[in-house]
Structure 1
């Protein structure tokens, strides 16, 4: 692995400030020093008249970023430490900063873009996907809940598409990312290097039209009928029942997928997306997500989910409670409880 100082490469190319996530062996997973380095670069460029725009990319061939370093979160949760909360506080502040950045923020969302990778890209002003893009918020599979402003983005997706993605953790390709509002433009992967080179000498508004085009056909547009009907149910149990009884095989598969996830995470994720719709601003949603993320550190499912999926890789998590019926409304409410004035995440613009 690279030295920590090299995990984010900050360079300038003409009038473009370039940020390259540089942990390809870990699929560019984010650490707290990486988050702070990105924030530092954005601060330096914000008032620099020689920098007109920012470009975010990932090193290696596999993707932009697979998310946060969940091995570190696993260790911290087991130890009862504060490192994860400290990381999330800085990460969510960065997510809000990216969304409000005064210069064009161009994110190349090529390959795998998940969790924290969505947070550093999908809040940008120019979000580019390719035929290789796989965009997801897969947190329910590790006993966690979509964060980094993910519930804000998913709450704003058409119909119930965001609820579907939040509960199943499904990864979507370029067309579906565009449909859900997670991206803005499609550019073929083999043209990204030329696009990035052109940004050194011209603004993205001039460059992008030469490269952007129509994305290959997606799946979700043809599934809207059953997604919007099934996920409009009042509870997670009712959603699963509707999916299970629907005639579409993809609906039945979605029910099975949800039932394989952490029951606690599924119920809290459903509540989080629905509450995000009412909260409005990204800052308010991030503050809510911070409460939920901190609460999740005490769930047995977070440690168990990461163990099963990442540490031991046996893919057989033992969730507690084991099913949706075992998660009470009070359990869900506790995940949204105030943290107290000293611990709450506070952001400008709330």
Structure 2
């Protein structure tokens, strides 16, 4: 049964307001939330009185922590393909947001992960605050970046997106701007002024309000590591990236290698292949199609449920990946994640 309170819709002047309202779950997405958001955006696209849309998350912990991975865990163990249907509708919403005819403003405050990135980072105007922490941590649970994550990360400067994807690292506000995951920094105490969007009847009006609210952000921590990141992650195989990182003198490079080695070898190889393909595609739609195939393959594998078990079910943080070594993940296995299933 759907919960009509888990996503709230409102109209204020020219503004259509969407509030993700599961604060205890850091607004993790459900199928009902995806469908309600989709219908609202469809309706407001046809409504001449709605000139812009604001999407935000309830509570202080974060905008959206992604999808309900516990439900996915149980589905994977039982052979239930329901998550594939969820992903298909979720990715369609991601594409809709990217192509929307009216300005969509999203407040990426607090934790923004996985599916939360999908409903925020494809919007026209993406706001980060001093509390923003954005990540695509899929390789840490035996999955692959989805919701258009391969598209976003492949477009980041140099190899910064590859670094973020393979380490499952988090980006603060300045790094989000550097990576292209957000457009402007607004201090949290100014967010209440976003209600001025109700008066905005044009794109220019929206830009003027946002420009007045934005503030300079400090230097991006990743910027100082750009030189070695671009060199170390330029390779076409994960094994070569490991070798390049191991040869670097920078402590940060060694820390990155230590972190990457914890993740699913299969997910690492599939993710690198997906990022390179996404770069060649250059558009969101084919990346989403590719990600749906890969996500469905993950659902039928062993690493994805094992990764969720270790992270959120048993919380032992000790996943037993299969295969456990990079060299045991062959080309045939990688290709399986890019072949449409019958």
| 4+ long deviations beyond 2 Å | none
Q: Retained in 2: the 8 A contact 1:19–1:57?
A: yes
1:1-350 alignment runs, 5 A limit: 4-194=3-193, 196-202=194-200, 203-340=205-342
Q: Retained in 2: the 8 A contact 1:131–1:216?
A: no
Q: CA deviation at 1:217?
A: 2.0
Q: Retained in 2: the 8 A contact 1:29–1:65?
A: yes
Q: Distance in 2 between matches of 1:301 and 1:3?
A: 30
Q: CA deviation at 1:3?
A: 6.7
1:343 equivalent in structure 2: none
SS at match of 1:313: coil
Q: Distance in 1 between matches of 2:195 and 2:40?
A: 20
SS at match of 1:146: coil
Q: CA deviation at 1:16?
A: 0.5
Q: Retained in 2: the 8 A contact 1:77–1:298?
A: yes
Structure 1 residue runs of 5 or longer lacking an equivalent are 341-350
SS at match of 2:53: strand
Q: CA deviation at 1:280?
A: 2.0
Q: CA deviation at 1:181?
A: 0.7
**1:189-245: per-residue Cα shift (whole Å, max 9, x none)?**
111112x22112233222111111211222111101110000002210110121122
Q: Retained in 1: the 8 A contact 2:2–2:32?
A: no
Q: How many residues align?
A: 338
Q: Distance in 1 between matches of 2:272 and 2:2?
A: 39
**1:52-93: per-residue Cα shift (whole Å, max 9, x none)?**
000000000011000011011111111111210000000000
Superposition TM-score, scaled by structure 2 size:
0.97
**1:309-332: per-residue Cα shift (whole Å, max 9, x none)?**
011111111111112111111110
Task: Single out whichever of 236-245 and 98-107 deviates more from structure 2.
Answer: 236-245
**1:148-185: per-residue Cα shift (whole Å, max 9, x none)?**
00000001111001111111110001111111110101
Q: Distance in 2 between matches of 1:218 and 1:206?
A: 25
Superposition TM-score, scaled by structure 1 size:
0.95
Q: Distance in 1 between matches of 2:177 and 2:166?
A: 19
